[in-house]
Structure 1
Amino acid sequence: MELKPFIYKQWLQRQALTVTKRDRKRGGSYRVKDAMDAIHAAAHQSDGIDPYDGQPMNASLLETKNPTLSTSQEADQLALARRCPMVKHTRGALICDFEIMSRQTADAKGGMSTEEYIEHCRAVVRYRGKNDFKTAGSVH
């Protein structure tokens, strides 16, 4: 991820604190420093491409504050936000093991492990191919 050092450090600290607090509520026991180290390693392993869908992520979105948007701008902003890099657990477990993916993938993956998510995606493709739906809107 290409970010200004100040922005990266701020993002790294915020992400580490967020995941550590959330995981402690669920029984996780690692420290914020451990999370920072693991997230930093994941960020350096990331080439800016979502590891699941192969599409580029937009790290520049991490540099912007969330200004008040007009209604006409909200749809464009939401579309851009889908490509914003996110920190997620690699295995869905409460351990200090993270990967960087787009918000769109993170939202779809939820708490599934990598294997569960990929199998789910395969099931979707098999089902959609078998039933030959043209668009998601045609599903009733």
Structure 2
Amino acid sequence: MNTPAPDWMPEAARATYPGWVQRKAVTLSKRDQKLGGVGNVQQYRLAIHEAVLASEGRDHWSGEWLDWDLIGTYDNREAAGDQGEHKKRYAMLPTLDRRTRQPEPDFVICAWRTNDAKHDMTPQELLQFCRAVVDHSPHWSSEGPGAP
């Protein structure tokens, strides 16, 4: 199955893209097999590629442009000793988010930061949470603890 990088993807990421799709497909299909899901690697590969194409390079939830040059560069060993800075450096790393909680592969693409914040919220729960944050923002003090 051919999964060529989209035209909008930066040149440096195009060579990495097919391997990234394959690795993600293998990892996610194995995980889902353990949870009683389909587990067909080719089905996952196609679903991932379709999600990337549909994203047009942007985070599904925020609309922000993702840093596609980061795909295939994340290193768990590097992350272990440098949590805060590492998370910031990889905040816009494209990652997969399940559109539904069904075992079939159905993904959207979003930033690692978004996926980390959303965690296992439904789209409705995410929207409700974001509204609560925005509604509460006038209460933030520019001089107090935790001020943005």
Q: TM-score range by the shorter chain?
A: 0.7 to 0.9
Distance verdict in 2 for CA 1:63–1:50, change over 3 Å: same
CA RMSD of aligned residues (A): 2.8
Q: Does residue 4 of the first structure (1) align with residue 14 of the second (2)?
A: yes
Amino acid at match of 1:124: V
More helix by share: 1
Once the 2 structures are TM-superposed, how far is the Cα of residue 28 of structure 1 from its aligned partner? 1.5
The 8 Å contact of residues 91 and 114 in structure 1, kept in 2 or not, is answered as no
Q: Does residue 134 of the first structure (1) align with residue 144 of the second (2)?
A: no
Q: How many equivalent pairs are there?
A: 134
Residue range with higher mean Cα deviation, 94-103 or 26-35: 26-35
Q: Deviations over 1:79-136 (max 9, x none)?
A: 220110001111233221101100000001112222221222222323444xx12369
Runs (5+) with no aligned partner, structure 1 = none
Runs (5+) with no aligned partner, structure 2 = 1-8
Q: Does residue 108 of the first structure (1) align with residue 117 of the second (2)?
A: yes
Once the 2 structures are TM-superposed, how far is the Cα of residue 41 of structure 1 from its aligned partner? 0.4
Q: Which residue of 2 aligns with 1:26?
A: 35
SS in 1 for 2:125: helix
Q: Does residue 94 of the first structure (1) align with residue 65 of the second (2)?
A: no
* Percent of matched pairs sharing the same residue: 29
